[in-house]
Homo-oligomer: A and B are copies of this chain.
Amino acid sequence: MPDYQATYDKLCAHAQQTAQLSTTGDILGWDENTKMPPAAGPYRAEQLALLAGLVHERATAPQVGDWLAELADSPLAANQQSDAGTVIRELQRSYDRKTKLPGRLVEELTLASSLGQQIWGKAREENDYARFSPALERMLKLKREEADAVGYAECRYDALLDEYEPHETSANVGRVLQSLGEALVPIVEKIQGSSRKAPSQILEREYPTAAQEIFGTATAKAIGFDFDAGRIDVTTHPFCTTLGPRDVRLTTRYNERFFNSGLFSILHEAGHGLYEQGVPSEHFGLPTGETVSLGIHESQSRMWENLVGRSEAFWEHFYGPAQKAFPQALAGVPLEDFHFAINESKPSLIRVEADEATYNLHILIRFELELLLINDDLSVDDLPAEWNARYEKYLGITPPNDADGVMQDVHWSCGLIGYFPTYALGNLYASQFFEQAQADLGDWKAQFRQGDFAPLLGWLRKNIHSHGQRYRAAELVERVTGAPLASKALLRHLSGKFGSLYGF
């Protein structure tokens, strides 16, 4: 009998060393986005490409395939949810996907992504869709090739979705998003028709950056983000990146005349960061020490940003400190006005600025269009008109130009197709998880009011974070909540919150 354990150990050591190299690339990326002097860009791109090449070479090394083949029918792989079973299953999945893509296609995708992003940036600046469309056309062609190389059972889009949300299908996502969309439109209409208006101007008063930084950091710390193993910096586009088992970096942006930008970006990214800090660090670089999917990841960020961070109970604890931190803006403003303001809902053009009620309609539009594009059922030339028609249909507004319409997001330009649905999945999972957490935690509002977020974080650690990739997303949701992915929990949350704020 072969020495399966020895082979397994080699496989793990190899994967963990590959992670050391890929997180090195992530450090380069973090620095590029936060600290790097402007003229250093071209050389940094070369360094990143070199690292990416080394990582790809290691990840697709034939010996990895040999080890996996040897282990496939071994006792170690028998229980798919044991540590070893999880590691073997998920490394096999990732190895298969990577080795199915011809090297030529990988290179063309890398190049098209880099060029596409540059072209998109200029085209968006100049509101010139005609300039962008050939790059998009080319990218779609390559992504269809990618999907065909990876393979799929029913729908080409599944092969792309699978990269970000493993094992999820477009049929299932389509069904849930469609039912969500149908229920959201009347909610959004009721909000629009309400005579109540959120006093949003109080968020546009003076919020000095230094005070936002102190308040935001203290808040992230209070909800449990460990600054011994992480930090917050400033970027144009907030993100969270993990540079090692005890090194999670968040970023945010501060707007002195708009409170939401800084703090809710911090809460969102800290939600991602708490997940990263919660997976077992001794398994770092192995599937047992990695997060499940982008959808599950987003469920954590959206929970802390919205379900926690925009709740009344949260602000019953933090509003006092906020008034102290921003006396010029908030002195004399009642808590309920502030709470209404940070929960203002109105149809808007730009996804990243959308509120909880309208956000998922932005995603539904993108998902529908991606499906059509990938299946060759919609031409790139007709895309802007279809985009605008859907904004009219779902949100009752029409973009005045393509820059703030079809060209607003970077994703398509750099090949992130199949990625958008994970944002909506995140919102759906978040509500399902949070309902269950509420049931399990007892008087969670009292806990929040006292600034005690340890019970919720402990619940997330135990039920979600600690498992790494042991369960697939769909399994995890069923296991934790007893029900499959569905739109009900999110709709209950949105109707409840906005019904109470807007009086319907």
Contact = CB atoms under 8 A, between A and B. Distances in A.
A231 B246 CA distance: 26
B43 A247 contact: yes
Given A20-B50, A46-B20, A50-B17, A246 B27 contact: no
A432 interface: no
Contacts of A27: 27-28, 31, 47
Interface residues of A, number: 35
Given A24-B24, A24-B47, A27-B27, A244 B40 contact: yes
A153 interface: no
Interface in A202-255: 226-231, 233, 243-247
A306 to B, nearest CB: 27
A247 B36 contact: yes
Interface in A109-131: none
A35 interface: yes
Contacts of A246: 37, 39-40, 42-43
B47 A23 contact: yes
A193 interface: no
A8 B81 CA distance: 54
B228 A43 contact: no
A243 to B, nearest CB: 7
Q: Which of A23, A44, A245, A284 has the most CB of B within 10 A?
A: A44
Interface in A15-43: 17, 20-21, 23-24, 27-28, 31, 35-40, 42-43
Contacts of A28: 24, 27
A31 to B, nearest CB: 6
A51 interface: yes
Given A20-B46, A28-B24, A39 B284 contact: no
A248 to B, nearest CB: 8
A277 to B, nearest CB: 10
A179 to B, nearest CB: 43
Given A37-B231, A37-B246, A43-B284, 14 more contacts: A20-B47, A23-B47, A24-B28, A31-B31, A35-B231, A37-B228, A37-B229, A39-B246, A39-B247, A40-B246, A43-B244, A43-B245, A44-B244, A47-B244
